[in-house]
């Protein structure tokens, strides 16, 4: 029975070592994927064209935001 216990302990140690190696491999794979741009997300969405706003659309958005901030500032002035 003692031999069986020793074998079991050795197997547990081997499993722990293998899990450590696997963790290291996963870290290396993740690091390399970031460097090359080959991650699950980039390969899944990489073929899509980027959505770009026209200059006119950007200007409309900027004007709307300026109007929002002007409203906030005007309200702050009234309460001061």
**How far apart are alpha carbons 53 and 66 in whole angstroms?**
18
- With a cut of 70, say whether residue 60 has pLDDT above it: yes
Q: Nearest to residue 39, comparing CAs of 27, 48, 30?
A: 30
User: Looking at residue 73, what is its pLDDT?
Assistant: 95
State mean pLDDT over 8-27: 95
- With a cut of 60, say whether residue 36 has pLDDT above it: yes
**How far apart are alpha carbons 6 and 14 in whole angstroms?**
12
- With a cut of 90, say whether residue 43 has pLDDT above it: no
Query: Do 43 and 24 fall into the same domain?
Result: yes
Query: Do 65 and 30 fall into the same domain?
Result: no
Query: Do 1 and 25 fall into the same domain?
Result: yes
Segments forming the whole domain that contains residue 22: 1-48
Q: What is the pTM of this model?
A: 0.41
The gap from C-alpha 52 to its chain's centroid, in whole angstroms, comes to 22
State mean pLDDT over 29-36: 86
Query: Do 64 and 41 fall into the same domain?
Result: no
Torsional class of 53: left (φ above 0), alpha (ψ -120 to 50), beta (otherwise): beta
């Amino acid at each position: 029975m003692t031999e069986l216990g020793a074998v079991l302990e050795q197997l547990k140690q081997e499993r722990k070592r293998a899990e450590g190696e696997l963790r290291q491999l996963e870290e290396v794979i993740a690091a390399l994927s970031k460097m090359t741009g080959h991650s699950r997300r980039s390969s899944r969405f990489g073929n899509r064209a980027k959505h770009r706003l026209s200059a006119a659309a950007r200007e409309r958005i900027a004007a709307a935001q300026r109007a929002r901030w002007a409203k906030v500032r005007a309200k702050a002035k009234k309460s001061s």
